[in-house]
């Protein structure tokens, strides 16, 4: 099996990862959780591609990554002052981690797609990103397209909406042709969102572009 367009689209996160590496010293440290996520995403995609083309199973990296992803985003939401009370941050981390453990150890294990956890995490991120978008629209003084926080949140809104749709399809079952088409569409959506993330990283500066009370 040769390298395909879908494989190339999956690696489109490399653009944002490279920009983040080059501009890291010029970026406010509150963006660090998101930057770490970009780099880990790229490494995960590379590992999965290596495993696929070597004929090995991809369940372990494929199912561990969603937990790392959501925990880094929870951390990023906290850095963006979404969790104004520290206890709520801890509650979110504990609930998500426990749900991942329950599904991975007692329900499906590492040989399935962790659909229920992906749905829970996707819904959580969808709600958080929607609230941050609303906050940015109400408080941002610069054009929204120059706000990294707004761009990242828009990207997450688009991506995790697709994650939820695919998860629902997986649970209730759809015909193979439609499922294949949706997976193909997801690859293009993922590439588009990665492009948004690259623009967001380019817009990041040492000073945050939104004003909130300390």
Predicted confidence (pLDDT) per residue in 198-210, tens digit: 999 999 987 765 4
Q: Is residue 131 a part of any domain in this protein?
A: yes
Structural domain boundaries enclosing 153: 5-203
Q: Is residue 209 a part of any domain in this protein?
A: no
Query: Lowest mean pLDDT: which of 18-22, 36-40, 143-147?
Result: 143-147
Query: Lowest mean pLDDT: which of 30-34, 192-196, 202-206?
Result: 202-206
Q: Among 116, 128, 122, which residue's Cα sits nearest to residue 88?
A: 128
Instruction: Compute the distance between CA of residue 13 and CA of residue 197 in angstroms, rounded to an integer.
Output: 8
Q: Is residue 214 a part of any domain in this protein?
A: no
So what's the pLDDT on residue 110? Answer: 59
* Residue 190 binned pLDDT confidence (cut-offs 50, 70, 90): very high
Q: Is residue 163 a part of any domain in this protein?
A: yes
Domain count, the chain: 1
Q: Is residue 85 a part of any domain in this protein?
A: yes
pLDDT for 114-169, tens place per residue? 778 888 899 999 999 999 999 888 887 778 888 999 999 999 999 999 999 888 88
So what's the pLDDT on residue 84? Answer: 66
Instruction: Compute the distance between CA of residue 57 and CA of residue 202 in angstroms, rounded to an integer.
Output: 36
Given the structure tokens 């962790």, which residue do they identify?
Answer: 114
So what's the pLDDT on residue 28? Answer: 92
The alpha carbon dihedral of 134, 138, 143, 149 has a sign of negative
Q: Is residue 211 a part of any domain in this protein?
A: no
Q: Among 121, 123, 10, which residue's Cα sits nearest to residue 58?
A: 10
Helix (H, G, I), strand (E, B) or coil at 112: coil
Whether 149 contacts 166, CB under 8 Å: no
Q: Among 184, 145, 186, which residue's Cα sits nearest to residue 164?
A: 186
Instruction: Compute the distance between CA of residue 11 and CA of residue 187 in angstroms, rounded to an integer.
Output: 10
Q: Is residue 142 a part of any domain in this protein?
A: yes
Q: Is residue 189 a part of any domain in this protein?
A: yes
């Amino acid at each position: 099996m040769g390298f395909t367009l879908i494989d190339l689209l999956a690696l489109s996160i490399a653009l944002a990862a490279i920009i983040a590496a080059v501009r890291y010293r010029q970026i406010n440290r509150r963006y660090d959780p998101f930057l770490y996520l970009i780099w880990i995403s790229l490494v995960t995609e590379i590992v999965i591609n290596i495993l696929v083309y070597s004929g090995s199973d991809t369940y372990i990296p494929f199912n561990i990554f969603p937990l790392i992803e959501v925990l880094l985003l929870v951390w990023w939401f906290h850095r963006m002052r979404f969790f104004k009370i520290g206890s709520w941050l801890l509650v979110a981390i504990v609930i998500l981690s426990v749900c991942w453990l329950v599904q991975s150890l007692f329900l499906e294990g590492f040989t399935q797609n962790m659909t229920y956890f992906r749905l829970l995490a996707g819904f959580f991120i969808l709600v958080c990103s929607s609230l941050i978008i609303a906050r940015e629209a109400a408080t941002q003084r610069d054009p929204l397209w120059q706000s990294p926080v707004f761009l990242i949140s828009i990207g997450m809104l688009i991506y995790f909406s697709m994650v939820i749709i695919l998860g629902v399809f997986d649970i209730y079952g759809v015909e193979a042709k439609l499922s294949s088409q949706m997976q193909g569409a997801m690859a293009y959506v993922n590439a588009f969102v990665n492009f948004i993330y690259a623009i967001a990283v380019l817009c990041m500066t040492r000073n945050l572009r939104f004003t909130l009370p300390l």
